[in-house]
Structure 1
Amino acid sequence: MRRPAQQHRLGPTPAPGWAHPYTGLTGLAVFYNDGGEPPAQPPVPSPADLAARGQQAPQPPAPASDPDEDKVSLTQRRLNVLMKSEKDEGRRAAFRQIAEAAGLDPDTFDPNQFGALFQQAEQARQAQLSEEQRRQEDLDRREQELQARIDAAAQREADAAKRDRDSRIRAALVGLGATGDDLEDAAALIRVTDDADETAISEAAAALKARRAELFGAPTPQTLPPAPTGGPAAGSPPRPPVAGKDAIRQSAIARAEAMGLRTAS
C-alpha cells in the first residue's frame, strides 16, 4: 500500500504541542478504530495443575429429571408385582382383541378353547385341500390315459395308411416289371407323399423306371474299353492287308529256312 503524501498546512498551529498531519478523509484512511483492547487470555495450566486434575474423580452428569415429578422409592418385590400386573393386563387386552376379531364373547373367551378351535379349522382346511388335490390328480390321470388312447389310435391309423401306401407302390412297381431284390430297391428309391393317390404313385413309378430301367428287367448295357487298335469296342479284329503272290512266296521261303528245311540260296 502506498503511503499517502503528507499535507502540510501553512499558517499558525491552533494549539501548542504535537498535532498529527492527517486531517479529513486522509485521517480516516490512516487512523481507524481497532475495536478496543483484546480480551485477556486464560492462564496456561502448569504440569502440577494437570496432575491434580487427573487425580480428581470424574463427576457424574446431573440427571435430567423433571423438578415437579415426585420421587417414589420401590422395593424389588413391589417392582416385580407391578411388572407382572402390567404383563397380565397386556395379555388380557390381546385376548379381548382376538375374541372381538373372531366374533366371540370377550368375557367368556378361553385361550385354550380358541387354540383347539383353530387347530380343528386348520385340520379341516388341510383335509379339504388334500381332497381337492386327490380329485385334481385323478382328473389329470384320466386326461393322460385319454390322450394316450388317442395317440395310440392315431398311430395305428398312420401305420395302416403306410402299409396301404406301400402295397399300392409295390403293385405299381410289379406292374412295370420289378421283381425280387430289384422290387425292394425300387420301393426304397421311389418318393411319394403320404396322401398320394394311384395316379401319383403310377407317375412316380414310371419316372423311376425311366431313370433306373435295370430295376425293371431291362438288360444292362455293357460298356467295354476301346480296342487297342482304335476300333470299336466288342468289334472283330482288323483284317490283315491282302498280300500278293510274291509276298506269300517270300514268306514261305523264310519260314522254311528258319525251320532248317531249306538252305539259303
Structure 2
Amino acid sequence: MKKFYFLLLIFILFEIKDFKSQEKNPISKEQKNRINKYEKLVVKLKKENKKNQVANNLNKIAFIYWDTENFDIALKYFEKSLIINKEIGNTNAIKLIYSNLGTMYSDLNQLNKSLDYFKKSLKIRQDIGIKDEIAKGLIDIATVLTSLEKPKKAIKVLEEALIIAKNLNANKYLRSCYSLLSQNHELIGNKNKSYEYFDHFLVYERFLQKKDFEEREVLFKKKLNKELKKVETKIQIAKKENIEKQEEISNQKKNLILKEDSIIKINLENILKQKAIDNLNKDKELKKAISEKNRMVRIV
C-alpha cells in the first residue's frame, strides 16, 4: 500500500512537470509595456554608469520572459546581468542568477547544465556560510541528481542537507529531503529505507498542509473582516446620509409651517386692520348722519 502511494506521488509530480512544460503564456500588453520601460531604463542607466541598477532591470526583463515560457530570451537577459554582476562583484546577485539558470535549465530538461549552475550557486552559498541557503542549494542539486538517476550521489548530498535541516528545524527542507531520500532509496532497491523515509515525508507533508490551510484561513478571515468593515462603513454612511436627509426634510417641513404661520398671521393682521378701518369709516358715517339729523331738526 505504501509503495502504491509512493508511485502515485511520483506519477503526480511528473504529470505536473509535463503539464507545466507544455503550458505557454503569451506576453500581455502590460508585460510588453514593462519590458519597454525596463529597456529604456537600461539604456539610461548605462549612460550614467549605474551598473547595479542596470543588472537589476535586466533581471526584471528576464523574469517576464521566464514567466511567459520564453526561455531563450530569458536566458540571454540573465546572462547579461550575470556579466555585469561579476564586474561589480555582487556575489549575492551572482548566486541567485546561478540558481535561476539552474532552475530554468531543469525546466528545459537540460539537466547537466542545470546541475552545473546549481553547483556554482552552492559554492557561493557555502562561502557565505548561511546554513539555510546551503540546505536549499544541496536540495536543488539532489533534485537534479534524482532526475539524472544518480541515486547514490543524490543520497550523499541529501544526507548532508538533512543534517542542516534538522539543526534548523526547517520543516519544508525536511519534507523535501525525506521525499527525495525515499525516491532514491527506491531506485537502488532499498525498499525498507524508502518506506521509512516516505513515512517521515508524510508526517511533514500533513503538518505543512495543515499549517498552510490554517494560514490561508487566517488570511481569508482577515480579508473577510476587511470586506465586512467596508460594507459596515457603507451602511453607516448610508444611515448618516439618510438621517441627514430626514433632518433636511424635517427642517423643510418646519420652515414651511413657519412660513404658513407667518402668512396666516400677516393675513389675520391685514383682516383686523381692514376691519378697524371699516369700523372707523362706519363710525364716521354714523357721526355724519347724526350731525345731519341734528342740523335738520334745528332748521325746522
| TM-score calculated relative to the size of structure 1 | 0.26
Whichever of the two has the greater Rg, that structure is 1
More helix by share: 2
Which of 1 and 2 has higher RCO (CA within 8 Å, sep 6+)? 2
